[in-house]
Amino acid sequence: MLLLTPTQHTDYELIDSGGFEKLERFGAYTLIRPEPQAVWDKSLSDVQWNARADAVFSRDKNSQEKGQWQLKTRMPERWNMVYATPLLDLRAKLTLSSFKHVGIFPEQAVNWDYIAHKLSVMPVEKPTVLNLFAYTGVASLAAKAHEADVTHVDAVKPVINWSRENMELSSLDNIRWVVEDAMKFVKREVRRGKKYNGLILDPPAYGRGPNGEKWLLEEQINELIGLCAELLAKENHFFIINLYSLGFSSLILDNLINSHFGQTTGYESGELFLQDSFRKKLPLGVFARFSDIST
């Protein structure tokens, strides 16, 4: 089992974690957000946290998800951050949402790098990439930056609009945007005999499609991965899946991938984490990925 954490972020920093919270810098601004897995003590005092914070998120008393932001400085409602490496130069809009999210999951940078590397050496003139449950689309941008033909699927139209803004900020174009239930879309693509060189999956624990379609991870993930096995090209391919549900182990992904794909080349699985400046490791989901592009 691998433990992976980003090493090339300059516009993100996990400063401290603990007490079911995290203190993190996105670009020029520092935020305090809830973090249910940070069960240990903070390394800095509450006074030090509050002195650094530009905004603090507090959950509503009657909600496990929604809450309010308290602004402690005159920070803007939206700002941009950069992810720049030898293979990528991406921009993303950030904003303070009522669900504590800001529009980017920094631990996913290890997968953005993976996508960029695999596509940079893939011997296909116009590789096709499908990003499911694609959120604000930084993984889509990583693929598009390497001239892939990218299809980006998400059930929420405002999130698709946000992704389009990120594409324009990154000076990219021609991503195919699809507002649809992911399972419905995949079933239709299988019927059409469609093949993709890259598949990226980031399914939530639960959700709703644009027409009220119900998604429950534990009930539908097996079927979805089975369908994806029919969509993935036999040669010149990569596959990435991330799961954030607290009840899911990477061993579950091992079993699902082996069941539907059989023997794979370059298979990796494990946990994604972010390390704070005091070397505490904050787990942020499990992943599995593989590719027949070995270089």
pLDDT at 30 over 90: yes
Q: What confidence tier does 246 reach under pLDDT thresholds 50, 70, 90?
A: low
What pLDDT shows up at residue 2?
84
Element (H, E) at 148: none
Q: Which helix (H) or strand (E) holds 272?
A: strand 268-275
Nearest CA to 254 out of 272, 240, 237, 267 is that of 267
| pLDDT at site 250 | 92
pLDDT digits (tens, 9 = 90+) for 252-273: 999 999 999 999 999 999 999 9
Residue 174: count of CB within 10 angstroms of its CB: 8
Q: Is 3 exposed, middle or buried (0-12, 13-18, 19+ CB in 10 A)?
A: exposed
Residue 208's pLDDT is 84
Residue carrying the six token digits 């400063």: 15
Q: Of all helices (H) and strands (E), which one includes residue 277? A: none
Q: Is the pLDDT of residue 65 over 80?
A: no
Could you give the percent of the chain with pLDDT greater than 90? 84
Instruction: Round to whole Å and give the CA distance between 84 and 105.
Output: 15
Domains of the chain by start residue, with CATH: 2-78 (2.60.40.1180), 105-291 (3.40.50.150)
Q: What is the pTM of this model?
A: 0.95
Which helix H or strand E contains 150, and what residues bound it? strand 149-154
Q: How many other C-beta atoms can be found within 10 angstroms of the C-beta atom of residue 246?
A: 10
Q: For residue 98, what pLDDT is reported?
A: 87
Round to whole Å and give the CA distance between 254 and 252: 5
pLDDT tens digit sequence for 115-154:
999 999 999 999 999 999 999 999 999 999 999 999 999 9
- The model's pLDDT over 195-231, given as tens digits with 9 standing for 90+, comes to 999 999 999 888 888 888 888 888 999 999 999 999 9
